[in-house]
Amino acid sequence: MANKHVGVMLMTYGSPTTLDDIPVYLKHVYGGSTASPEVLAEFRRRYGLIGGSPLLHITREQAAALQEELNNFSEDGTTYSVGAGMRFAPPFIADVTPEIAADAQHIVGIIMSPQYSPLIMKGYVRTLEDAVAELHCDDLKLSISRDWHMQPSFLQALAERVQQALDGFPPDVRERVAVLLTAHSMPKRVVEQEPDYINNLQETAAAVARLVGLADEQWMFCYQSAGHTPEEWLKPDFADIMPELQKAGQTHVLIAPVQFLADHLEIL
């Protein structure tokens, strides 16, 4: 009997490759609608400021590293191929699926957000399910990871990055640095339907703070990147907290996202 082969798909949001790709990218994000000239100009400005998003490059590096790790430590002869698929930009999930499915008996989808929400993440699930269905392989098994926000290795990796950043501050102020552990904000109406998702975010932040050894008064969990819509978004937002810290005399702040696994527009 041939050894088992598993295809793994790392799924993330996606980003435009160049500034000229922004209109098509936003059309995918908006479900086929064309973005207004004002929105297009703002996205061009933001992507121009950061010199383009490294999201795809980083996710591909993560896929290559995971593939090497899985194959090196496979104990039963199972082999793995790992690909990176984007939801709203090339390479699309549907286009990468046949590559990782070649000779595979099992496809595993991993959404690159450790805190899982059935409501918020359903687009990724449906996209991969549809892509696998298009292969017309009745014997091909599909599994999609749910929340893995409390995996010890993930928490340890976050804690190490926070500690490295703290070590960059002068020793005499290090214990006074305000640490803001952030997650992407969302409309309040959305998360009211899934309180467990917010609990997962807060659990991640608390676990990282504990591993780093942060005093309770030194850190807080907050949100970033609220949308420009009239509806109510999650609070507290780090943009509101920063002026408050300044008024309180705080001169050193560390912002550390606990939800994102790669640098991209919302972080940079």
Three-state DSSP class for residue 254 = strand
pLDDT above 50: residue 78: yes
pLDDT digits (tens, 9 = 90+) for 91-119: 999 999 999 999 999 999 999 999 998 88
What is the pTM for the complete model shown?
0.91
Instruction: Tell me how many domains the chain contains.
Output: 2
Residue 198 shares a structural domain with residue 72: no
pLDDT digits (tens, 9 = 90+) for 178-202: 999 999 888 888 888 888 889 999 9
pLDDT digits (tens, 9 = 90+) for 48-75: 998 889 999 999 999 999 999 999 999 9
Interval 237-258 mean pLDDT: 94
The residues pairing with 8 across neighbouring beta strands, listed in sequence order, are: 82, 108
Quote the mean pLDDT of the chain. Answer: 93
Please return the burial class of 171, using the count of CB atoms within 10 Å of its CB with bins 0-12, 13-18 and 19+.
exposed
In a domain, 123, yes or no: yes
Residue 189 shares a structural domain with residue 219: yes
Residue 123 shares a structural domain with residue 162: no
Residue 111 shares a structural domain with residue 162: no
pLDDT digits (tens, 9 = 90+) for 1-29: 457 999 999 999 999 999 999 999 999 99
Question: What are the distances in angstroms from CA 144 to CA 92, 171, 205, 207?
Answer: 17, 44, 24, 24
Domain of residue 65: give its range.
5-16+53-144
